[in-house]
Structure 1
Amino acid sequence: MLKGESLRYKWVILAAASLSIGLSIGPTFAVGVLYPDWIQTFEAPARYVSLVGSLPSSVACLVGPVIGPLNQKFGNRACGIFGGILICTGYALSCLAENLEVLIVTFGLVAGFGVGLVNLSLSCALNGYFLQNRAFAEGVIGAGLCAGMSLAALLLQQLSFFYSWRGAILVLGGICLNICVFSMFFVPLHRIQNHPFNIWKKTTTKTFNTSSQDTSYVFEENKELIIKPIKRQSYFTRSRNLWSNPLFLMLVSCDFLTWVAIFVPYVHLVERARLQGTDANLAAWLSSVCGIAGIIGRPISGTLCSYFKVHPFWAFSLNQGILGAATFLSPFWSDIYGLFALAIIVGFFSNAYGFMKASTAVLLGPENFVDAYSWMLLFEGVGISLGPFVAGLLYDSTKSYDWSFRFSGAVLLLSSVLCFLKIPIERLMGQKNVEISK
């Protein structure tokens, strides 16, 4: 058990992380509300506008190996604050765009890089405070993401009606500047004892030890902080060690397959309903139902995992199996009731990513989370770009989304099955450790 898990300040960290993810990633999932205005303003095809809208999420993941070393050097607070400034700047400059090329730079690259910084910072901020209950924490911040997505969609729709899309995205940028405030609460564990943000600091005087990759920190009752420097390996040396770890390779593979598949129902479910003759307004409710189900399902699944002490990796496998089966079989129940049932399932079982991050911290150790997660983000970005593209090709070939959803379901099931490699890999690694000790 991490000593930070016994501190009440962990709930401040969890609240700040939930608000940060809601303001950073949430709007990137809701920007589709502005697509009709962008198509009309820039007189551009819908496929190019969709590409611009997906850039922040893709860029936030693809820059993982870049923001990982930055986080190690400057810390979670500094990177979270700078990320919030970049998101605000990108959105504010986007309201001045006269063509899609400018929007690609401001909205896609600038804001996307900021989203990546904030996402990595809030995920790493949980490391010192949640390990045994990491699945619960990821479920809570997942609910924050869903809430941010739903509220951002409603806000953008209303603001664009009164102030046009330019005014709407400018106001959204100002709101996202609050990320800087929330990031200030990402206080490292070794500094929390006497930090002014810790209102319980008088009660946190028990002896405990913790460490980072730079320094070993020791707290002793009624004594000052003792700092013991330790040798730090370079980011690339640590990364090389990770890539030689079979457990990390398994995690990367399962995570990549997840992001190849999971965006397909998010991106194509509403359009699938419309092509089947469903009223456009009714079809739009599929996204809302999915978001509401996520707000409910993510914290429930995370809480159950922690309460029954289920390993988060097995929870991930079960989650993927249920979601994959439902998506694969969805063409057999393709009326509006079946589509709403699928939307509920996709939303309720959307905590797979939270389980994956929790699994990374548990299997590889909190000290390796930053390096591992930064590389996983890179492959997530590739998966985000690849999955909907393949689904689109399947639709063009078959003129139906049935095979697109079968593809998504099959990939999710494959990621679930690959999780069982954990058993032989751990046995093999255990045998090697025994041989080395001899």
Structure 2
Amino acid sequence: MATRQRQSAESCNMEGGDVNKEEAETPPDQSQPVANSAPDGGWGWVILVSSIVVLALTLAFPSCMSIFYTDLQKQFHASNSVTSWVPSIMTAVLHAGGPLCSLLVERFGCRATVIMGGVLSGIGMAASAFTNSIVELYITAGVITGLGFCFSFQPAVTILGQYFVRRRVFANAMSSTGTALGLSTLPTLSNYLHTEFGWRGSFLILGGMLLNCCVCGALMRPLGPSKPKAHKQKANGPTKTGKENLKLLASCIRRHMAFDQFCNNQRYRVFSLGVTWMMLGFVVPLIFLVPFATDNGMDQNKAALLLNVLGFVNIIVRPAFGLLFNLAWFKGRHIYVLSVALLLNGLSNCICCFSATFPVLLVYMLCYGLTMSVVGTLLFTVLMDIVEMNRFLSALGLLAIMESVTLLIGPPLAGLLVDKTGEYTYVYLASSITVVTSALFLLVSFYWLDYRSTAKKEPSPVSASLQSPDCQYIRVSAGEAEKQAAIQTERVTSV
């Protein structure tokens, strides 16, 4: 045992030396926190509020496109499957731009990247007001606006993880209320703008509103030391050869795509596959909610009110869930709570198969909102549990790319299903099957991994060694924890 502890200490010291070398060459906005620098308060509360606003303007925005869905169909004489590509591309690019966003954060920092995202999304949405074809809308509202959302959303989540360690679950839960805030306000605002100015005027105004992401980004003060002069001198050094550039590119791709995590960390691999499959049907019900309700004779104002109800449920419930899941009993059990919530969320979609009246859809929104609150509260927390914090951004980037595939094809497949059958109920049934199967996959897989890990009496994930203090799945005794405290360079969330 003593030999093992000495080896662990030596490996930690070696890794700490490598980390220090990397930190000496990183820009001031580098997404890795310095040792013991997370304040768990102070300016972190400003970061939290900024993240809430950014998430409200980015993650919740694609659901507002359902307000303009019918108008876009009539304007461009497009079918359901063709029109549904607009929110689909927007959501897919929002996630697929993760590795590019990771590179920008590495080079320019979270603050500059969020500001850049605000400019892109604002320009893209404003330009959408002047499009003359559905293909042009794919480019402006889909690609440009979606990429801007990506550049704003992912750094906001990352810098929040740097500022909060002990209160990380609560901070993630509070930031996720930003999505709920957007769901409760943006549909009503979009419906009002649609009534007063039409879809073109609405897109122009919404584009100006998205520029507020720039203000939020300006408030995201980075943690960490200033950029050393050695780095500036290195940047002006001799030009690298083509072979060296290829090696640098390959190293950069491996670092920012988290392929090593996907290959070696079984928990991350299972989580990524399960969440990717889940996304195929998770957002589809919200995109088709307003068309589904209006197709069954409901007034559009009432249909938009359903999305408001969903948002208000999330606003009320998510902070409470954040406090609840921050209790010590839930440490290491977040994935099971998330899986059960996904299971119930998928089953709630079956409610729409019985009726499309306002009371029935109201009950559906309440059930969907409660389960969605749990999912939104724990999704990033579980990812932070299973990977080290200094690899979180790259792990999130790879997960986002995987999600983007199913997010891209989900709404068009649902639209094609409506075109072929003429019924929206089949969309909700298919979404239910997709989400339920993903929940069962996560639940069974993580239970098996925990059972196997307990039987072998080894640390759960491959990456969760003594050098991985940010992972929640570390199992050490109290005596070992005290000895490790002297050699660890980062703050420990829990043991």
- Structure 1 and Structure 2 fold alike (TM over 0.5): yes
Q: Are positions 1:29 and 2:63 aligned together?
A: yes
Q: Which shifted more, 339-348 or 274-283?
A: 274-283
Displacement after TM superposition at 1:183 (Å)? 0.8
Per the alignment, in what secondary structure is the counterpart of residue 186 of structure 1?
A: coil
Displacement after TM superposition at 1:89 (Å)? 1.4
Match for residue 422 of structure 1 among 446, 457, 469: 446
Consecutive unaligned residues of structure 1, counting only runs of 5 or more, are: 193-213, 215-232
Displacement after TM superposition at 1:339 (Å)? 2.4
Q: Deviations over 1:84-134 (max 9, x none)?
A: 111111122222223323222222111111111111111111121234433
1:262 maps to a residue whose letter is F
Query: What does 1:31-430 align with in structure 2 at a 5 Å threshold?
Result: 31-191=65-225, 234-238=251-255, 239-244=258-263, 245-278=265-298, 280-307=300-327, 309-310=329-330, 311-328=333-350, 331=353, 336-351=358-373, 352-392=375-415, 394-395=417-418, 400-420=423-443, 421-425=445-449, 427=453, 430=459
- RMSD over aligned CA atoms reads 3.2
Per the alignment, in what secondary structure is the counterpart of residue 71 of structure 1?
A: helix
Consecutive unaligned residues of structure 2, counting only runs of 5 or more, are: 1-34, 232-249, 467-495
2:97 maps to a residue whose letter is V
> Residue in 2 aligned with 1:224?
none
**Is residue 81–residue 183 contact of structure 1 (8 Å, CA) maintained in 2?**
yes
**Is residue 82–residue 412 contact of structure 2 (8 Å, CA) maintained in 1?**
no
Displacement after TM superposition at 1:274 (Å)? 4.4
Q: Deviations over 1:137-170 (max 9, x none)?
A: 2322222122223323333333344444333322
Q: Deviations over 1:198-241 (max 9, x none)?
A: xxxxxxxxxxxxxxxx9xxxxxxxxxxxxxxxxxx933333231
Percent identity for Structure 1 against Structure 2 = 25
Q: Are positions 1:6 and 2:26 aligned together?
A: no
Q: Distance in 1 between matches of 2:295 and 2:128?
A: 32
Question: Could you state the TM-score of these two structures normalised by the residue count of structure 2?
Answer: 0.72
Q: Deviations over 1:228-265 (max 9, x none)?
A: xxxxx933333231121211111101211221121232
**Is residue 325–residue 334 contact of structure 2 (8 Å, CA) maintained in 1?**
yes
1:372 maps to a residue whose letter is A
Q: Deviations over 1:390-431 (max 9, x none)?
A: 444555666544443333223322222233422443517638
2:336 maps to a residue whose letter is W
Question: Could you state the TM-score of these two structures normalised by the residue count of structure 1?
Answer: 0.80
Larger radius of gyration: 2
**Is residue 63–residue 286 contact of structure 2 (8 Å, CA) maintained in 1?**
no
Q: Are positions 1:16 and 2:31 aligned together?
A: no
**Is residue 191–residue 301 contact of structure 2 (8 Å, CA) maintained in 1?**
no
> Residue in 1 aligned with 2:9?
none
Structure 1 residues 337 and 175: CA distance shift in structure 2, 3 A:
closer
Displacement after TM superposition at 1:2 (Å)? 6.4
Q: Distance in 2 between matches of 1:253 and 1:273?
A: 32
Q: Distance in 2 between matches of 1:280 and 1:156?
A: 12
**Is residue 317–residue 417 contact of structure 1 (8 Å, CA) maintained in 2?**
yes
